[in-house]
């Protein structure tokens, strides 16, 4: 086992460094700009990605980090309850930002579980290297995306992770897919990443539900675009009634208008039936989830005018 003395700096109470919070992509991975003989190299900052007002640090071992606001860390005179709520709110915002990156990685074939505040912990940034060295929990403790990578670096198991090309990181900021999706809903990147991740884990019902929510959200945006050109306000109001103009009706009308092509129209009707079979008859199968996820993929590609990675799930056995 190779031990790097530099890793000890993260645990040294006297060591100075910026305070950051973050999590790791899961399943764990390594971006291929590291020294296999030096576990410390896995903690190096690989890229800095600017998203809105936040700068996200990406490390070689799949870490995503944001600097902690000084006002929330250093102001000890703040009311403890108010400070706690503000930190919670910042963690929620941070998770949403991370999910934008996770969603774009998903589109490039790197699937990760979406981030939530449960998976976010404090870390140290020292000399362009970042590591989470502690974690907390409630009734359950989830360490796989906080403390586990540090343990893997210490016990020599970090090289068991999958290795991916670091060039994919450069494609995140260069693509406009996420901004288009955020115009529909701020939660859409997390739902898309969740659909891919659940399907990858063969959690079929969860994947189908997430996938269909994404489909309906994009369908709703297409419908809104169509009705926005109607000058008659009373007619526009009637068309916005989802009880009358349900997803099924909207699919028919948008197809008739040529907004939804025939192949996608057929997939939407099949997927809508699968969603109803799950919701009303508790029916689920690999075929059902596969067809809904394929429909979600096609809807995203049609809306964003770009291609994305195929949703895949494990189908092998090892016995």
The yes-or-no verdict on residue 76 having pLDDT over 60 is: no
Same domain, 221 and 161: no
> CA 149, 150, 154, 159 torsion: positive or negative?
positive
The 10 Å Cβ neighbour count of residue 149 is 27
Structural domain contains residue 278: yes
Residue 105 lies in a domain: yes
Q: How confident is the model at residue 3 (pLDDT cuts 50, 70, 90)?
A: low
Q: Which of 157, 173, 189 is the last residue of a domain?
A: 173
Does position 1 have pLDDT exceeding 60, yes or no?
A: no
User: Of 290, 273, 49, nearest to 173 (Cα)?
Assistant: 49
Q: Looking at residue 306, what is its pLDDT?
A: 94
Task: Clarify whether residues 162 and 182 are in a common domain.
Answer: no
pLDDT for 251-306, tens place per residue?
A: 999 999 999 999 999 999 999 999 999 999 999 999 999 999 999 999 999 999 99
pTM of the model: 0.93
The DSSP code sequence of 241-290 is -TTTS-HHHHHHHHHHTTSS-HHHHHHHHHHHHHHHHHHHH----HHHHH
User: Which of 16-20, 103-107, 120-124 shows the lowest per-residue confidence on average (mean pLDDT)?
Assistant: 16-20
- Please indicate, yes or no, if residue 211 is contained in any of the structural domains: yes
Task: Judge if 166 and 234 occupy the same domain.
Answer: no
Q: Is the pLDDT of residue 114 over 80?
A: yes
Regarding whether 110 and 259 lie in a shared domain, the answer is: no
Residue 243: the pLDDT is 87
The answer on 195 and 146 residing in a single domain is no
What proportion of the chain, given as a percentage, has pLDDT over 90?
73
pLDDT for residue 74: 67
Flag whether pLDDT at 70 surpasses 90. Answer: no
- Alpha carbon distance 178, 311 (integer Å): 18
Tell me what pLDDT residue 79 has: 67
- Asked whether residue 23 is assigned to any structural domain, the reply reads yes
State residue 254's pLDDT score.
Answer: 96
Residue ranges of alpha helices (H) inside the chain are 70-73, 80-107, 148-155, 167-174, 177-184, 188-200, 204-228, 233-239, 247-256, 262-281, 286-304
Q: Is the pLDDT of residue 78 over 70?
A: no
Q: Which two tokens stand for residue 19?
A: 């305070």
| 129-172 pLDDT per residue, tens | 999 988 888 888 899 999 999 999 998 899 999 999 999 998 88
What is the tens place of the pLDDT at every residue in 207-243?
A: 999 999 999 999 999 999 999 888 888 898 889 888 8
Shared domain for 36 and 140, answered yes or no, is yes
**Residue 310, in any domain of the structure:** no
More confidently predicted of 108 and 6:
108
Give the model's confidence band at 185: pLDDT under 50 very low, under 70 low, under 90 confident, else very high.
Answer: very high
Question: Which tokens hold the place of 212?
Answer: 């269909």
One domain for residues 42 and 165: yes
Please indicate, yes or no, if residue 43 is contained in any of the structural domains.
yes
Query: In the predicted model, is pLDDT for residue 311 greater than 90?
Result: yes
Query: Is the domain of 169 the same as that of 181?
Result: no
Last residue of a domain, one of 132, 149, 173: 173
Domain that holds residue 187: 177-304
Q: Report the chain's mean pLDDT, rounded to a whole number.
A: 92
Looking at the structure of the chain, the number of domains it has is 2
| pLDDT at residue 77 in the model | 56
Whether the pLDDT of residue 61 is over 90: the answer is: yes
Phi and psi at residue 122, in whole multiples of 5°? -75, 150
Average pLDDT over residues 300-313: 96
User: Is the link from the previous residue into 27 a cis peptide, with omega within 30 of 0?
Assistant: yes
Q: Do 213 and 105 belong to one domain?
A: no
Q: What is the mean pLDDT of residues 82-102?
A: 93
């Amino acid at each position: 086992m190779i031990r790097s003395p530099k890793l000890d700096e993260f645990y040294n109470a006297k060591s100075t460094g910026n305070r950051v919070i973050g999590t790791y992509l899961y399943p764990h991975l390594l971006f291929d700009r590291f020294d296999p003989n030096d576990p410390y190299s896995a903690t190096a900052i690989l890229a800095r990605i600017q998203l809105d007002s936040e700068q996200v640090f990406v490390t070689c071992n799949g870490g995503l980090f944001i600097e902690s606001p000084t006002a929330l860390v250093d102001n000890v005179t703040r009311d403890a309850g108010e400070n706690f709520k503000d930190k919670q709110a910042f963690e929620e915002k941070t998770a949403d930002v991370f999910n934008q990156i996770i969603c774009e990685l998903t589109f490039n074939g790197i699937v990760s579980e979406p981030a939530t505040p449960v998976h976010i912990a404090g870390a140290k940034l020292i000399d362009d290297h970042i590591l989470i060295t502690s974690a907390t929990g409630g009734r359950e403790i989830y360490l796989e995306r906080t403390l586990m990578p540090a343990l893997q670096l210490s016990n020599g198991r970090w090289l068991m992770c999958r290795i991916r090309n670091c060039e994919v990181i450069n494609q995140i900021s260069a693509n406009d897919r996420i901004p288009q999706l955020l115009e529909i809903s701020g939660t859409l990147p997390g739902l898309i990443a969740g659909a891919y991740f659940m399907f990858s884990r063969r959690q079929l019902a969860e994947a189908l539900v997430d996938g269909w929510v994404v489909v309906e959200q994009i369908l709703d945006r297409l419908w809104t675009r169509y009705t926005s050109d109607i000058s008659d306000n009373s007619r526009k109001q009637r068309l916005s009634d989802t009880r009358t103009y349900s997803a099924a009706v909207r699919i028919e009308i948008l197809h008739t208008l040529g907004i939804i092509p025939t192949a996608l129209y057929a997939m939407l009707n099949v997927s809508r039936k699968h969603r109803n079979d799950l919701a009303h008859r508790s029916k689920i199968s690999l075929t059902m989830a596969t067809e809904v996820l394929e429909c979600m993929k096609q809807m995203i590609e049609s809306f964003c005018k770009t291609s994305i990675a195929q949703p895949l799930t494990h189908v092998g056995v090892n016995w």
